[in-house]
Amino acid sequence: MIVPRRRSRLPALLPIFAAAALLLLAACSGDDPGAATAAAPGGGAKPALTKVKLQLNWVAEPEFGGFYAAQQKALFQAEGLDVELVQGSPGVPAPQLAASGKVEFATVAGTQVVELAEQGGDLVALYAVYQSNPMGIMVHESSPFRSLGELWQSDATVSIEQGLAEFSWLTKQRPEGKLRLVPYTSNLAAFAADPKLAQQCFITSEPVSLELQGVKTRLFLFGESGFDPYNVVVATSRSYYEANKATCAALVRACAAGWRAYLDDPKPIHRTMAGLNAAMSVAAMDLGAEKQRALIENDETKRMGLGGMRVERWQSTVQQLFDLGRIKSRPDAARLFVWDAAAGSAR
């Protein structure tokens, strides 16, 4: 049986109300919030682990594997952190939760970091899991189309959310002509039954589910169109970052260590995540990990370190969103993230 999968992981950004009143307050004497003291041997006191929450924008799946590896292998603890990984759900407002201080950190799309500024939010990106956009359009292996450009100039039927920035960019670059657009419903049974249908997807999700059911697909990533923002980005509010730079740097180091451990040996982590997400099997997670690897580790990460970001990529995303009319002004790309390429970590 083909099981329907998720809708887009990019819910519409919600307005930010009373953000200032919700921001976390720094602890006294300039210490990071969440840090406490505990009795040490000999009667002294030692700092306890700093407690923080990392809100995920979806449930436990391979796109978050490195975070669960950091938790399972005590890599967060090694950096002095007690990190609670909070699973997401359809429509969870992860960007707003971080911007308002409801949680210290959240995973968001790179586009959301930029667009939230239009509504008064102020997020700072710290770590980018996906160096290339993991979203795309899948076709059946028997499809005659060999590229996203070919598909977009055809008379094919495509199931897609037309509110996506990726859709707007594709349409701007390649007017769809005779293309027939239908609403995205995440109905994999309909896709499997129609060899001429193309459908929006996430690299570790729909193509994996179909392959395990014996339905072979070909995937065209949206990055082929030139629109390739960072994704699964760990972000925090600017106020939290400014007050807690040491905690943010510690989290980034732990994330990098966790993702290195996960990429080297993902299967033990999959068993843990499958216990948290009954909708995805260990076999699906194993296959998803293989499919996503090239989007996480590439030549750039070899130079900058896992999770690294460049200002030129952020500048490109800002300009593209501006050209699409999704933002009315262009924020300074250098202020959207913090990454020290020489040190290979967040500043």
**Residue 148, in any domain of the structure:** yes
Q: Model confidence at 3, in pLDDT bands (50, 70, 90)? A: very low
Is 122 in the same domain as 243?
yes
**Residue 26, in any domain of the structure:** yes
In eight-state DSSP terms, residue 73 is: T
CATH number, domain containing residue 67:
3.40.190.10
Q: Model confidence at 175, in pLDDT bands (50, 70, 90)? A: confident
Average pLDDT over residues 211-215: 97
The CA-atom distances, in angstroms, between 21 and each of 104, 123, 238, 314, 347 are: 15, 16, 14, 29, 27
**Among the ranges given (24-28, 101-105, 182-186, 321-325), the one the predictor scored with the smallest mean pLDDT:** 24-28
Going 103 to 186 to 141 to 135, the CA torsion angle's sign is negative
**Among the ranges given (40-44, 73-77, 87-91, 306-310), the one the predictor scored with the smallest mean pLDDT:** 40-44
Domain coverage including residue 309: 19-37+48-131+229-335
Question: Edge-to-edge, what's the strand order for the sheet holding 157-159?
Answer: 180-182, 157-159, 197-202, 135-140, 217-221
Residue 74 has pLDDT above 70, yes or no: yes
Predicted local confidence at residue 129, as pLDDT: 98
Q: Which residue has the tokens 């580790």?
A: 297
* Number of compact structural domains in the chain: 2
Predicted local confidence at residue 341, as pLDDT: 55
Predicted local confidence at residue 13, as pLDDT: 60
Is 200 in the same domain as 294?
no
**Among the ranges given (27-41, 198-212, 235-249, 302-316), the one the predictor scored with the smallest mean pLDDT:** 27-41
Residue 33 has pLDDT above 50, yes or no: no
Among 347, 341, 293, which Cα is nearest to 131's? 293
Is 234 in the same domain as 106?
yes
Predicted local confidence at residue 21, as pLDDT: 35
Residue 32 has pLDDT above 50, yes or no: no
Please state, as a whole number, how many other Cβ atoms lie within 10 Å of the Cβ of residue 44.
8
Radius of gyration over alpha carbons of the chain, in Å? 21
Strand 37-39 to 45-47 pairing: antiparallel
